[in-house]
Amino acid sequence: MSRLPFYLLVGALMIAGIALSVHRHVQFEVPWTPGEQRQVWEIEAQVNFTAQGGPAMVDMALPSHQQGYRVLTENTASPGYGLSFLEDERGRRAQWSIRQAAGSQLLYYSVQLLVAPDARPPQSRRPELQEDIVWERPYDTAATQVIERAWQRSASPFTFARELIRDFSDDRQSENSRLLLNQFERAPLLVRLLNDAGVHARAVSGLMLEDGRRRQSLSTWVQVFDDDRWSLFNPVTGEQGRPNNLLMWEDSGQAVLEVQGGTNSSISFSMIQHNQPAAAAVRNQLANDTLINFSIHSLPLEEQALFQTILLIPIGALVVVLLRVLIGIKTSGTFMPVLIALAFIQTTLMTGLIGFLLIVAVGLVIRSYLSRLNLLLVARVSAVIITVIAIISLFSVLSYRFGLNAGLTITFFPMIILSWTIERMSILWEEEGPKEVLIQGGGSLLTAVLAYLAMNNPWVRHITFNFLGVQMILMSLILLLGNYTGYRLLELRRFKPVTED
Amino acid sequence: MWTTPGRLRAKGIVGMNRRNIRYIGRYNDRRLFPLVDDKLKTKLLAKEYGITTPALIGTIKSQFEVKGVARMVAPHPGFVIKPAKGSGGKGILVIERVEGDSYIKPSGASLNHVDIERHVSNILSGLYSLGGSPDVAVVEALINFDESLSVYTYEGVPDIRVIIFQGYPVMAMMRLSTAASDGKANLHQGAVGVGLDIASGGALRGVQFDRSRSDHPDTGHELASLQIPGWQTLLELAAGCFEMTGLGYLGTDMVLDRDQGPMLLELNARPGLAIQMANGEGLRPRLDLIERQPPGVSVEERVAFAQRHFARRGELQAVEQVPCPA
């Protein structure tokens, strides 16, 4: 009987688990430790216009994931307006619409951006060249000369753009460029000249991020393409490269804001920067779920909290498997300790331990009386359940009276499980004596405490919740342990006399 | 206090994990477990295969039959009530004799008929069965225990555990009940285990609570002279349980009846490992040897093979005899 398929399965699970986790770490910036702090920018855009009394429509460009920044959440405040988010070849845009509006209108859009130095730049498609560019006199000659001059002194699209922009910078403005600047806006003019010379380029809008700034406006940049590579140029200074604190707001050469049915439209930005724990930053991440980045974070918050606990259970199970297979500890009920450990998470360890011992001890005393009543098993266990509930209620009330609020958490104990534990312990006591009860009860408690320590560890909680791939790794570990034929630790003691002679 | 895995391996000791995966998991088909987990089924099956078992007085299958237990056992001087699906000796009640309304246990403790009925009721509701499923109480006649062995035991009936691997008897021990084990022959409850030589049925070594001993703690009788009568028959009976159940790794519990000789008491598909302690030797080399044997060998040949290969000289005698050079 070959074990090969088994090891292949274990190996596949292990690799898939690790790959999924690394993918989540790299692709979504989910940190390995919960303590890491992440920088988050909160940016608010305020759109202002005067409506003309009829229907109005506002179309605004929105930032998307990009080099250095990742969009976490976005909100809008626009009472009375219909709103939809669009994503097409023009990029991400928000559209507000209203049937009737008059007077000054204010629309708000706010976005949270995570500073993510490793975020990859999005795939940027090269814009088409503007066809049939026609210059009117006398600009045609000026344009031709400016292009010719820069062309001579350059070797590639990037160097050409640099030379061209330098011709328009303040200290070296030529006659021609001054003429052109009089007629055209700087950025569209540059794009037009570049296109005329056969260089793909477009004007894009970006926001310089500075902490605590208000009433900022977007700056225009020229994006120049050399095949698939692109570079940003400052249209005023000709500087090449993207400043680190530049957030690209609109990057497909479209208008940032289009208003129909209104005049005097303007947009201004305010921004603030703060640090927040990485885990929280991850939680805020927009859920764009595909099969591969399947994530618990796409669930509503309440279900997420539930899953946070559910995903810890495999850790508890692993502890039980380790203790039983490798150490050889006896427990009362195989996974009862995991459930007790889950209760400890709610009650905290000391309260939990005291509560557990109190309930089981009192339960055992009452159970010993029940055993004399000669009842059927199901009825007896049911009686024990009611007894356990009574004990729990009594302790809750008493601890509340004495001002021990911690005592109230005792209600988190799984009552049915406790009742069965009491029943089993009691039978064990009758059949094997108190020693065995101590061994199994102690083993269960030890397992529960270790499972609790493992499950309550902040790092473990972070890892299990944020990396679903870890579940596969746990699965493969448990499968491997299920295949362990070596000695248990306690057997080294048990069988010692045999090796003595 | 502790030993090393290397030394255990050198002794050929089989651990719990290895037993579960390598032997029980591989040689014992799950499907066949009910045959041995249900003592009633085992009993009926044994009858079919001509393997003697203690006489069946009756079975109690439902709560309303519980009241009839006293009438059922009335004609018998002593009896045993056990859960059909019990494990590890749990729920076995031995009544040695009945005096009026008092039922006397081997320890001398006396029960009344209410206690007996409660015990039966507990069995039926599944208190002792695996997984707590509803069960059946089996009432058997008390074994007329072979007097020649009574000096070695205290109260209860000593039984003989033989591990049958692929039909070969690989290791055997006798379990002597003690005061500590309340007349039960379970080692973890304090019974004394005496390793038996497969070749002769003579004592090899005694242990109680996993520690060596050379005499019975209650009767004080030395264990060295222990010799099982009818050893050959016993081994053949035990080895035949392989054909009967189809289980490759099997613990057979045998008892010696004064009149009927060796009898099958019960079977266990998950036999414990304490037998290695009683024999002072691991199971591993013997199991490895059996695994290399071809299948389809008759019971007599298998027993003969085991007696040839697993013959051991008792440690207990070695104290008195001058060791002779080989």
| CA neighbor of B79 nearest in space, from B91, B94, B90 | B94
Q: Exposed/middle/buried for B188, CB within 10 Å: 0-12, 13-18, 19+?
A: middle
Residues from chain B that touch A440, judged by Cβ atoms under 8 A, are none
A266 has a pLDDT exceeding 70: yes
Are the Cβ atoms of B3 and A374 closer than 8 angstroms? Answer: no
Residues from chain A that touch B276, judged by Cβ atoms under 8 A, are 495, 498
pLDDT for A326? 92
Domain residue ranges in chain B: 11-36+146-318, 55-141
Residue of A nearest to B190 (CA): A432
pLDDT band at B94 (very low <50, low <70, confident <90, very high): confident
Q: Is residue B109 within 8 angstroms of chain A, CB to CB?
A: no
pLDDT for A214? 80
pLDDT for A430? 77
Q: Is residue B126 within 8 angstroms of chain A, CB to CB?
A: yes
pLDDT band at B309 (very low <50, low <70, confident <90, very high): confident
A371 has a pLDDT exceeding 80: no
CB-based contact B214:B225 (threshold 8 Å): no
pLDDT for A8? 92
Residues from chain A that touch B5, judged by Cβ atoms under 8 A, are 486-487, 492
pLDDT for A321? 93
Residue of A nearest to B131 (CA): A333
Residues from chain B that touch A325, judged by Cβ atoms under 8 A, are 17
pLDDT band at B163 (very low <50, low <70, confident <90, very high): very high
pLDDT for A234? 87
B30 has a pLDDT exceeding 90: no
pLDDT band at A277 (very low <50, low <70, confident <90, very high): low
Which 8-state DSSP code applies to residue B227?
B
pLDDT for A121? 67
Residue of A nearest to B8 (CA): A499
Are the Cβ atoms of B90 and A431 closer than 8 angstroms? Answer: yes
Q: Which residues contact A77 (CB under 8 A, 6 or more apart)?
A: A107, A108, A110
A323 has a pLDDT exceeding 50: yes
Determine the distance in angstroms separating the CA of A487 from the nearest CA of chain B, rounded to an integer: 5
Q: What percent of chain B shows pLDDT beyond 90? A: 10
Q: Dihedral sign, CA of A74, A80, A84, A90?
A: negative
Residues from chain B that touch A491, judged by Cβ atoms under 8 A, are 8, 13, 15-16
A93-123 confidence digits (pLDDT tens): 999 999 988 888 888 898 888 887 776 666 6
Are the Cβ atoms of B132 and A497 closer than 8 angstroms? Answer: no
Q: Dihedral sign, CA of A139, A140, A141, A147?
A: positive
Determine the distance in angstroms separating the CA of B68 from the nearest CA of chain A, rounded to an integer: 17
Among A378, A493, A501, the residue with its CB nearest the CB of B2 is: A493
- Chosen for mutation from A326, A440, A485 (greatest number of chain B CBs closer than 10 Å) is A485
| CA neighbor of B163 nearest in space, from B193, B134, B208, B190 | B193
B237-270 confidence digits (pLDDT tens): 999 899 888 899 999 988 888 888 888 988 888 8
Determine the distance in angstroms separating the CA of A326 from the nearest CA of chain B, rounded to an integer: 9
Interface of A with B (CB under 8 A): 1, 325, 328, 374, 376-378, 427, 431-432, 483-488, 491-499, 501
Are the Cβ atoms of A495 and B3 closer than 8 angstroms? Answer: yes
Token pair of A76 as six digits:
């809008």
For residue B82, the cross-strand partners are B138
Angle at A478 between CA A475 and CA A484, to 5 degrees: 150
Q: Is residue B182 within 8 angstroms of chain A, CB to CB?
A: no
pLDDT for B323? 43
Residues from chain B that touch A486, judged by Cβ atoms under 8 A, are 5, 15, 17-18
> Could you write out the DSSP letters of every residue in A120-183?
PPP-PPPPPPPSS--PPTTHHHHHHHHHHHHHHT-SSHHHHHHHHHHHHSGGG--HHHHHHHHH
Q: Can you state the angle between helices A186-196 and A175-183, rounded to 10 degrees?
A: 120
Determine the distance in angstroms separating the CA of A444 from the nearest CA of chain B, rounded to an integer: 19
Determine the distance in angstroms separating the CA of A75 from the nearest CA of chain B, rounded to an integer: 55
pLDDT for B326? 37
Q: Is residue B134 within 8 angstroms of chain A, CB to CB?
A: no
A377-433 confidence digits (pLDDT tens): 788 888 888 988 898 888 888 888 887 766 667 777 888 888 888 888 888 887 777
Residues from chain A that touch B126, judged by Cβ atoms under 8 A, are 377
Task: State the count of interchain CB pairs (< 8 A) between A and B.
Answer: 83
Residue of A nearest to B25 (CA): A483
A123-156 confidence digits (pLDDT tens): 677 788 777 778 888 888 888 888 888 888 888 8
- Give whole-number Cα distances, A395 to A187, A355, A356, A402, A403, in Å: 76, 9, 11, 10, 12
d(C-alpha B190, C-alpha B27), whole Å = 30
> Could you write out the DSSP letters of every residue in B241-301?
HHHHH--SEEEEEEEEETTTEEEEEEEESS--SHHHHHHTS-SHHHHHHHHTSPS---HHH
pLDDT for B207? 87
Are the Cβ atoms of A376 and B5 closer than 8 angstroms? Answer: no
A445-464 confidence digits (pLDDT tens): 999 999 999 998 888 888 88
B34-71 confidence digits (pLDDT tens): 888 888 888 888 888 888 888 888 889 888 888 888 88
pLDDT for A333? 78
Share the mean pLDDT of chain B.
84
Are the Cβ atoms of B16 and A491 closer than 8 angstroms? Answer: yes
Determine the distance in angstroms separating the CA of B63 from the nearest CA of chain A, rounded to an integer: 9
A14 has a pLDDT exceeding 90: yes
Token pair of A393 as six digits:
């209620």
Are the Cβ atoms of B8 and A487 closer than 8 angstroms? Answer: yes
Residues from chain B that touch A484, judged by Cβ atoms under 8 A, are 17, 21
Half-sphere exposure of A49 (CA within 13 A, CB side): 24
Residues from chain B that touch A434, judged by Cβ atoms under 8 A, are none
| CA neighbor of A43 nearest in space, from A289, A328, A211, A271 | A271
B322 has a pLDDT exceeding 80: no
Domain residue ranges in chain A: 38-124+209-214+248-295, 306-466
Token pair of B98 as six digits:
């009945």
Are the Cβ atoms of A487 and B17 closer than 8 angstroms? Answer: yes
d(C-alpha A427, C-alpha A379), whole Å = 15
CATH, domain range B55-141: 3.30.1490
What number is the average pLDDT over the span B284-312? 88
- Chosen for mutation from B16, B24, B90 (greatest number of chain A CBs closer than 10 Å) is B16
Q: Is residue B133 within 8 angstroms of chain A, CB to CB?
A: no
Are the Cβ atoms of B15 and A325 closer than 8 angstroms? Answer: no
B6-29 confidence digits (pLDDT tens): 888 888 899 999 999 889 988 988
What number is the average pLDDT over the span A182-191? 84
Determine the distance in angstroms separating the CA of B50 from the nearest CA of chain A, rounded to an integer: 34
CB atoms within 10 A of CB B223: 21
B324 has a pLDDT exceeding 50: no
Q: How much helix, strand and coil, in percent to the nearest 5, is found in chain A? A: 50, 20, 30
Q: Is residue B131 within 8 angstroms of chain A, CB to CB?
A: no
pLDDT for A282? 63
Are the Cβ atoms of A497 and B127 closer than 8 angstroms? Answer: no
Look at A63 and A279; give whichever has higher pLDDT.
Answer: A63
pLDDT band at A477 (very low <50, low <70, confident <90, very high): very high
Overall CATH class of domain B11-36+146-318: alpha beta
Question: pTM of the prediction?
Answer: 0.67
Tell me the ipTM for this assembly: 0.77
A314 has a pLDDT exceeding 90: yes
Q: For domain A38-124+209-214+248-295, which architecture applies?
A: Sandwich (2.60)
pLDDT band at A79 (very low <50, low <70, confident <90, very high): confident
pLDDT band at B130 (very low <50, low <70, confident <90, very high): low
